[in-house]
Structure 1
């Protein structure tokens, strides 16, 4: 989307600069006194808008909504021509979809900007307020062609007013049907829908449709491939006439053609090129060797002339990777066949670290992954912390202890072609869902056929450390006290080794409702190697509601107050209290005195 951002004040200009970095496809317009290199400077806002209007698909105004309305009003012509308009207050708290919410994507743009800025989107369109899928945007989302956009308003009105609306779909993604109101009914056949005589209808089909309500909204999935064999010199008009006849005779829509397919060399035929360009259809050419490996159902003269069993059927099957719908049809100098695309899209799995929970500490890449996902899977508590960031997503929530179930569901959905975000508190690689997912793959001997991207997050130990000062400036060991997956004997031995080795010790999962004694036993083990005065940091709900930070010592560790949201940091021999801070020495004092490790330590310093 070609996008222009306008700001007026210094604060608005700073926000505009930040937004420009997040939206690299945008141009930033600023008053001359605030503009920097690479930004477009203006002296008068009215003149700048007049010059920019018509050159951008959407505008973002960082200013009062009234100013934007008055500036834009002379240029507005109508819903089908006006750009999308979004307004943001200069503090970046609210992002308002002002114009072209559906028709120009302003609602999605407002949500995207709010997501990136950590702001609140303000959407006022009726379908969004009533949590009804944006019917008029289905084509854009799934790559379907809307045959009759003039019917959009009538169908949406019928849905919102509770009138009877019928849906028939025989092709394309069906996830949009989830959450439809009860007055929208799904029909198994076109004939069944016709007999029901609903007030309005929605069709997603490659088939020709007749005898429907005049308010029927028809989407054409691009799922047909037309294979073409032809002699040289065939005119474009003859190819068009043949394709139209074949599809019409078999009850299919021309608008559902995704591409053409033929033998390599014929894609440069002037008649075929002209036909393809007229209807913006790509041509997929295949070599003789590729065609020879096919076994088409119809005999062909191409076996004699080209040494291949057929062109039109074989090319259609190769390009679609699906099933043959219409076997070869012969015309003078032209053969045609039609296949349906059935190859599923390649899925993707994002394993996303949410950090401590506060959206201010969610990384930009994590926001992008959540934005790009179709479905978000996670522990109920973690999902509630990011609820405002995923209002339009399919949400699948689980209780604690269901890690393998979450991993299995994420695998299944990504394998089916979905884009899945599997969320994890903190960092997904530290006692998180990355480990659970890969352990599931290993246990079940599963090999993913989808892309996997792991998005790091601020870990619980990093969050707790930052609240305490600098307790992890030296070597440290992380140990989980949960004996659900690891026997207590193993945990106890690790505690002894870490304490004996003078590591700072970070304790995860110190206690739960059903598990209270492990922390006390861990304290007893560590006291065998550390004095009771050893500094201890106690952090609960870091950067979340109910945050609690205590600086105490090993003797007075408040083990009865710990829970699964607590991180405990136990100092080593060089850890000390400094006012309200917990500090572990790194060793810079020795360097300053010219210690023997000065050169090496300088290289090791972060």
Structure 2
């Protein structure tokens, strides 16, 4: 299981009922192998309610069917079942009306965007009942990405600025169903050794006074000198918040509403809490609450100063995920189970429009497409990384294998430029490359040493490409040519042919594979001399044999052993 579905396996010698009760928390997910009836009887005595129960998934012994038995929406069992089934090559048996009517699961969709939920189980239950009756939903959104509205939503969403609403998206505390994007930053100043209980109380009271929800907090901001403060570190760990710290000279550049001469003498800046919060949210952000000071009770230590600011964008890289998906040559049937599982997990699909079209049958209504343009690879990588840093689960999709002329390298380069604590999860999921499928279609041309060369000089100068072509020719490599010819690059293939003819026999077999894995797929065998560059385009991959390669009866073969070696 590549996505980390199983963090712990309960050994057979342990009392399963005891272990089940021990881990019976809403944030946990159990995958239990066995019959639905037996497992239902097993968990029935300890079921406590939607807000209190974990996700329970039942898997048959053959791994063919995954059933979300408990916590389908509230604990993410349905989404986990889809991921697990895709990875195992099985089927998720989902019986909820929301899934089969292709309705937006309003009670769980925000999690995949990195948002946190508030509201009672009863209020969410009533909202889902109204949605099932096809009643349009009135929604107010004050923060967070609005592109979730591009989902295939049924029933309709009516976005409003005031009046009665069905659910709310924003930083404010709302008595009802709410999703909270992580846009709030808590500026903190504290005495050394301040008790974590003082810090908790100060934050809770400040947020409550301002009418803000703790679920909307992205992190804490303070001075560098507080970077190792135990209470700050523990609270960030406890809530999965970021901690950002700043040098005193940087904090001193911020014009804070309530500066303090005492703080300046101690810290070298007249403001810590307000300045740190404002510095974090930037020029477009705003201070929602000026500083408040909270002191320790008799059983506590220290004091804390709290200020609250809001960013215009959500920031939660620790919740986000960036999955590099190799979608294969085009046919969804050739997509690996690993890739299918990752796609099922992600709320945002980023890629070139053609590649997204090819895997469109796999997309669920709540999953949003971000269609990009050809040659705009950096833009797509940047957009995908930004979404993941907001807390979203993102699939960045390449054709073939994302690590072979795909998006993985550029995405990783941008990811590595961020500090470790500002990086979302990063994972590459391999796919079937065009050269692999082309080879399979024509026989066995890659049975000896081979190389791949892209003829596109968009990112690599031609003199470097030409040097590689000559080296591959003199080294007697089987050669796979990517991006062989386009309307704007109509001479490189002919030049390559001329170079190779100086080192290879004219009868060297050549395979032309066009539109692999797609409806208009075509495969043609020719020779190096007979190759006509004008009949090749960007949708073609070319395989050129070595000195031992030959073609016969419509097949191409490169023997594994050179003549005379045995």
Normalising by structure 1, we get a TM-score of 0.65
Distance 1:412 1:501 in 2: 41
Q: Tell me, yes or no, if structure 1 residue 583 matches structure 2 residue 557.
A: yes
Give the aligned partner of residue 108 of structure 1. Answer: 79
CA distance 1:422–1:591, shift in 2 (3 Å): same
Give the aligned partner of residue 202 of structure 1. Answer: 167
Instruction: Decide whether the 8 Å contact of 1:351 with 1:455 is kept in 2.
Output: yes
Give the aligned partner of residue 274 of structure 2. Answer: 313
Give the aligned partner of residue 4 of structure 2. Answer: 23
SS at match of 2:432: coil
Give the aligned partner of residue 158 of structure 1. Answer: 130
CA distance 1:569–1:251, shift in 2 (3 Å): closer
Superposed CA offset, 1:104-149 (max 9, x none): 2111111211232233433332333333332222564434241433
User: Map of 1:395-414 to 2, 5 A cutoff?
Assistant: 395-397=369-371, 402-405=373-376, 407-412=378-383, 414=385
Instruction: Decide whether the 8 Å contact of 1:58 with 1:106 is kept in 2.
Output: yes
Superposed CA offset, 1:260-304 (max 9, x none): 6677679989xx99x979x97989797994665654232425157
CA distance 1:482–1:305, shift in 2 (3 Å): closer
Instruction: Decide whether the 8 Å contact of 1:226 with 1:337 is kept in 2.
Output: yes
Question: Of residues 168, 176, 184 in structure 1, which corresponds to 2:157?
Answer: 184
Deviation at 1:412, TM superposition (A): 4.2
Deviation at 1:341, TM superposition (A): 3.9
Distance 1:497 1:229 in 2: 62
Deviation at 1:258, TM superposition (A): 5.9
Deviation at 1:422, TM superposition (A): 3.7
CA distance 1:71–1:260, shift in 2 (3 Å): closer
Distance 1:236 1:495 in 2: 64
CA distance 1:575–1:77, shift in 2 (3 Å): same
**Higher relative contact order (Cα pairs below 8 Å, separated by 6+ residues):** 2
SS at match of 1:404: coil
Give the aligned partner of residue 102 of structure 2. Answer: 131
Distance 2:395 2:454 in 1: 25
CA distance 1:181–1:338, shift in 2 (3 Å): farther
SS at match of 1:378: strand
Question: Of residues 308, 319, 326 in structure 2, which corresponds to 1:353?
Answer: 326
Q: What CA RMSD, in Å, does the superposition of the two structures yield over aligned residues?
A: 5.7
Instruction: Decide whether the 8 Å contact of 1:276 with 1:283 is kept in 2.
Output: no
Give the aligned partner of residue 142 of structure 2. Answer: 170
Distance 1:429 1:231 in 2: 49
Q: Tell me, yes or no, if structure 1 residue 339 matches structure 2 residue 304.
A: no
Q: Tell me, yes or no, if structure 1 residue 296 matches structure 2 residue 270.
A: no
Give the aligned partner of residue 324 of structure 1. Answer: 287
Question: Of residues 376, 392, 398 in structure 1, which corresponds to 2:349?
Answer: 376
User: Map of 1:139-288 to 2, 5 A cutoff?
Assistant: 140-141=111-112, 142-179=114-151, 180-181=153-154, 183-188=156-161, 192-194=162-164, 201-207=166-172, 209=174, 216-220=176-180, 223-227=183-187, 250-253=210-213, 256=216
CA distance 1:532–1:93, shift in 2 (3 Å): farther
Q: Compare CA radii of gyration and give the structure with the larger one.
A: 1
Deviation at 1:253, TM superposition (A): 4.8
SS at match of 2:107: helix
CA distance 1:577–1:344, shift in 2 (3 Å): same
Which structure 1 segments of 5+ residues have no match?
Answer: 1-18, 30-39, 195-199, 211-215, 442-446, 593-606
CA distance 1:146–1:562, shift in 2 (3 Å): same
CA distance 1:127–1:537, shift in 2 (3 Å): same
Instruction: Decide whether the 8 Å contact of 1:224 with 1:339 is kept in 2.
Output: yes
CA distance 1:256–1:560, shift in 2 (3 Å): closer
Normalising by structure 2, we get a TM-score of 0.69
Which structure 2 segments of 5+ residues have no match?
Answer: 297-302
Question: Of residues 50, 54, 60 in structure 1, which corresponds to 2:21?
Answer: 54
Deviation at 1:457, TM superposition (A): 3.9
Give the aligned partner of residue 32 of structure 1. Answer: none
